[in-house]
Amino acid sequence: MKVRDLLKDAVVSCREDEPLECAVAKMYAANVGSVVVVDGAGHPVGIVTERDVVRFLAQEVDFKTPLGQVARKSLITVSPEDSTLSAAVKMIENNIRHMPVVEGGRLVGVISIRDVLRVLLTAEAFP
């Protein structure tokens, strides 16, 4: 199965000039664990996860801070054409739970380790 098959319709993102509170509000509203930070052209430039938000709270980061200043910028991405198994390996090797899906430099979705695990377990249980 390809990563493309895991993608949902909505991509949750915020622009890098928007405040941290934008990411928190969108994660809450969409019931997701991450928000991809994009530049003005829609290219992914960072990510903020629920774990980052907990860390920001502990560090008393002002939630008005622009996302471009606080988002993790070392993005690990995957292509829609990559296999689900290769995405799982990449996530494990990099100790990440959310991975942007990028095609032609543009954000087309996000997959979570839960999405990948669901597919792999189903394939194992029902070959």
Check residue 123 and give its pLDDT.
75
Cα dist from 53 to 15, 16, 24, 58, whole Å? 17, 16, 7, 9
Supply the CATH number for residue 18's domain. 3.10.580.10
pLDDT interval class at 10 (50, 70, 90): confident
Helix (H, G, I), strand (E, B) or coil at 52: helix
Do 76 and 86 contact (CB within 8 A), yes or no? no
pTM, two decimal places? 0.88
Q: What one-character-per-residue DSSP string does 81-125 give?
A: TSBHHHHHHHHHHHT-SEEEEEETTEEEEEEEHHHHHHHHHHHHH
Counted domains in the chain: 1
Overall average pLDDT of the 93-122 stretch? 91
pLDDT digits (tens, 9 = 90+) for 50-99: 999 999 999 999 999 999 999 988 899 999 999 999 999 999 999 999 99
pLDDT of residue 122: 80
Q: What is the pLDDT of residue 127?
A: 64
Domain hosting 63: range is 3-125
Q: What is the pLDDT of residues 23-34, one digit of tens each?
A: 999 999 999 999
